[in-house]
Amino acid sequence: MSNASDQISAITKDYSRERVPLSARYSAWSIFVIWIAGIISLPIMMVGVQVGQALSFQETIIATLIGQAILSVIAGLAAYIGSTINISTAMITRLTFGRYGGDLIAIALGLALLGWFGVQAEVFAQSLQRMIMDLFDVTIPVYVLTIIGGTLMSATAIIGIKALNILSQIAAPLLVLILIIPILISGNGVVEAIDNFVPNGKMNLGTAISIIVGSWAVGASVTADFSRFAKTPKQGVVSTVAAFLIGGPVLLLLSALLALVSGHTDFVDIMYFAGLGIPALVVLMLATWTTNDTNLYLSSLSFTGAIKVLKKWQVATFSGVIGITAATLGITGFFIEWLLFLGVFFPPMAGVFTVAFFFNRSRYMADNLEPESKLDLPMITAWGIASYIGYLTSFVESITLSGIPALDAYASAIILTFALCAIKHRRISLSRN
């Protein structure tokens, strides 16, 4: 039994608790395509549609560009750290927040990503059920489709980045093409739809930006998990930032445009409006598969950093079962609240370890990856206060700063951590003198 387990571990090896060797690294193009395939998903399209229905198209463009710019900064800095020291986010948080603090945050990250997996699986099953009924006049229970789809998505995530790379290279071009075709078919109708559209005003610009940031807040915070496979820091940063600056805006704006042109807000209705039946079914499956691969891979990687008694493929297997179960119970009802929550609590985590890395780079570059302390209270405090500030500006709305709660939380984390690190280093310098 142990031999079989060792063989599986060899196939699925992802260096979850060690540095990625140069021989196991990928090109910038591979990392870019993995991110593009992961970004294109039904829930993110839902965000584009909801923002596009609430704001004018000009405001949607502004919200999208600002939101994705914020995500690109968070993602780019985290990617730089990952591609410089070539370890996972879970290991970075352990070095930053201490053994117990890092493990706690890694588990929280894993749960957040697992929640995304559940949302994706549920939306996938609901849309797939309808499409199968419309195309083939066959009704399959949602829970059956959730289990089948979730199992397929879990299979490649268990293998790891090798399977993600292959699947993304196939899926990414098809996904981009199928989203562009309806716009091309509409022709001049696009301009007319924009001119005649009246927004419903259900959210303001600041809320729209925060929701956009929240839609990929966790992903932007854990870009080290993929950039650690980059051959150089430059390739890690460029491939990551390009994906967020190109893939994110294109998907959100295309989704908003498709809703305006078709007059529908549901992906299935939009595809039918464009005359795309079977192709839309294929895209639905590919989009959810590639994105949920990413969700489950990143989730299991976070859990693996904290749970030492299990191997990564075993953690991924258990995570997949939990995610599928959550999807069958129905969790999309809290979708917008979920995005706002993610946008407030996880960017500050990335802000803390980013500043901590630049203050003490040698610690992160050392051969010993074990934390120096069990709990780094100053770093935990910075994260907690920054998250609370984001909470006050978002859920409570008792204070107003930039109008973008996710940015408030991230910027607060940067400032607080910088101050705490500066004080610590000054004390060390004075004690040496």
Render pLDDT for 161-170 as a digit per residue (tens, 0 to 9). Answer: 778 888 788 8
Burial 2-14 (b: 16+ CB within 10 A, else e): eeeeeebeeebbb
pLDDT in tens, 239-257: 999 999 998 898 899 889 8
Q: Is the pLDDT of residue 1 over 50?
A: no
pTM, full prediction: 0.85
Q: In terms of pLDDT, which residue wins out, 26 or 5?
A: 26
Q: How many residues does the chain have?
A: 433
Residue 320 token pair: 């997949």
Q: In terms of pLDDT, which residue wins out, 184 or 143?
A: 143
Percent of the chain predicted with pLDDT > 90: 30
Angstrom distance (rounded) from CA 306 to CA 17: 10
Q: Average per-residue pLDDT in the chain?
A: 84
Q: Is the pLDDT of residue 93 over 90?
A: yes
Q: In the prediction, which pLDDT does 408 show?
A: 87
Distance of CA 322 to the CA centre of its chain: 19
pLDDT in tens, 184-220: 777 777 888 888 888 888 888 888 887 888 778 888 9
SS3 26: strand
What average pLDDT does range 288-307 have in this prediction? Answer: 83
Angstrom distance (rounded) from CA 210 to CA 394: 9
Q: Is the pLDDT of residue 71 over 50?
A: yes
> Which residues have CB under 8 Å from 132's CB, separation 6+?
138, 139, 140, 281
Instruction: Please give the biggest Cα pair distance in the chain.
Output: 80
Q: In the prediction, which pLDDT does 4 show?
A: 54
Q: In the prediction, which pLDDT does 8 show?
A: 57
Q: In the prediction, which pLDDT does 336 show?
A: 54
Q: In the prediction, which pLDDT does 3 show?
A: 60
Instruction: Assess contact for 39 and 251: CB atoms under 8 A.
Output: yes
- Per DSSP, helices labelled H in 330-376 are 335-345, 347-359, 361-365
* Residues paired with 26 in a beta bridge: 230
Q: In the prediction, which pLDDT does 364 show?
A: 93
Q: In terms of pLDDT, which residue wins out, 334 or 231?
A: 231
Backbone dihedral region for residue 261 (phi beyond 0: left; psi -120 to 50: alpha; all else: beta): alpha
Angstrom distance (rounded) from CA 91 to CA 122: 31
What average pLDDT does range 291-302 have in this prediction? Answer: 85
Distance of CA 269 to the CA centre of its chain: 26
Angstrom distance (rounded) from CA 92 to CA 354: 10
Q: Is the pLDDT of residue 6 over 60?
A: no
SS3 230: strand
Q: Is the pLDDT of residue 260 over 70?
A: yes
Q: Which of 60, 121, 68 is nearest to 258 (CA)?
A: 60
* Residues paired with 401 in a beta bridge: none
Angstrom distance (rounded) from CA 295 to CA 121: 11
Q: In terms of pLDDT, which residue wins out, 338 or 385?
A: 385
Q: In the prediction, which pLDDT does 191 show?
A: 82
Please state the φ and ψ torsions of residue 26, each to the nearest 5 degrees. Answer: -115, 165
Q: Is the pLDDT of residue 419 over 70?
A: yes
Residue 149 token pair: 């789809």
Please state the φ and ψ torsions of residue 230, each to the nearest 5 degrees. Answer: -70, 150
Residue 368 token pair: 């010993």
Q: Which of 316, 380, 390 is nearest to 99 (CA)?
A: 380
What average pLDDT does range 260-271 have in this prediction? Answer: 76
pLDDT in tens, 378-405: 999 999 999 999 888 876 766 777 777 7
